Structure 1
């Protein structure tokens, strides 16, 4: 898998829903996903702790296998490798076009309460994708992300109305 030009996910971006219920993977994240995914495949999953989604490229798969091996070494016989592999590798592979347009699977929209806009927050080996309303409920640790999101929303005239399939 292509990893030579991938240096991680950083920054913030915003995407209101567009025509045909499609969102746009912003260029900052689109280019990083392409570099980490051998093309135009966005991996999406529900975040394990937060009410949002995670996004990453296919190059993360060897890291997930290594994580499972470490966990199995740590927990030994009490470790359920099959269940853990299902949890980590149950992500959706979502294609996007040259402009970054993609259709969010309905079940993921529902799991993360996604409405009519997305906020993207870089996180190194992955990034988070938020319904702005959900992000605003987060604590002070998320102050910078919340401020960036509010700025993007004000500039795009999207007020996080919560309309859409996730509400």
Structure 2
């Protein structure tokens, strides 16, 4: 988990644990891949190596849809997966969130980072708080980190 307030020069800070994972997954490059999550009101972040998994992911999702007798649009799913933006970050993890992604993810002055594995999510805290059952741990973590950021006057890094 991590939390960042929008700082000077309109930059957010990628938390250290996420920074290391992304850099490692991007062959040492400081490149953060960002996209709108396909179901939730948030963004996804990941390293460049995840791109190599997209074709297999589409095949798996199509197979699961066919097994359930549900229509699957490969082109739409490919557009969703490959439609990410590459955003550079500096050694301290500072990055500028492209305006259109901020709008898609409803992220304005605060960002909560959650998750792990092949990707993580970036939330507007208000959008996260509106999620239903099953999100209690993320919501509690977000509240705690937001309070810490507010009281310290700086983003948690």
What TM bracket, shorter-length normalisation?
0.7 to 0.9
Q: CA deviation at 1:83?
A: 3.3
- Is 2:22 the partner of 1:33? yes
Root mean square deviation, CA, Å: 1.7
Gap runs ≥5 in structure 2: 152-157
Could you tell me the TM-score, scaled by structure 1's length? 0.80
Q: CA–CA distance in 1 between the matches of 2:62 and 2:130? A: 35
**Deviation per residue, 1:69-114 (Å, 9 max, x gap):** 3345565xx7554333222100111111111111101111001111
- Is 2:85 the partner of 1:92? yes
**Deviation per residue, 1:49-83 (Å, 9 max, x gap):** 110001111111121111123345565xx755433
Gap runs ≥5 in structure 1: 1-11, 159-167
Aligned to 1:47: 37
Aligned to 2:4: 15
Secondary structure of 2:23's match? helix
Aligned to 1:64: 54
* Larger RCO, structures 1/2 (Cα 8 Å, 6+ apart): 2
Contact 2:4-2:149 within 8 A present in 1 as well: no
Could you tell me the TM-score, scaled by structure 2's length? 0.85
Aligned to 1:165: none
**Deviation per residue, 1:105-143 (Å, 9 max, x gap):** 111100111110100001321101001111111123111
In the alignment of these two chains, the number of paired residues is: 145
Q: CA–CA distance in 1 between the matches of 2:38 and 2:83? A: 12
- Is 2:17 the partner of 1:24? no
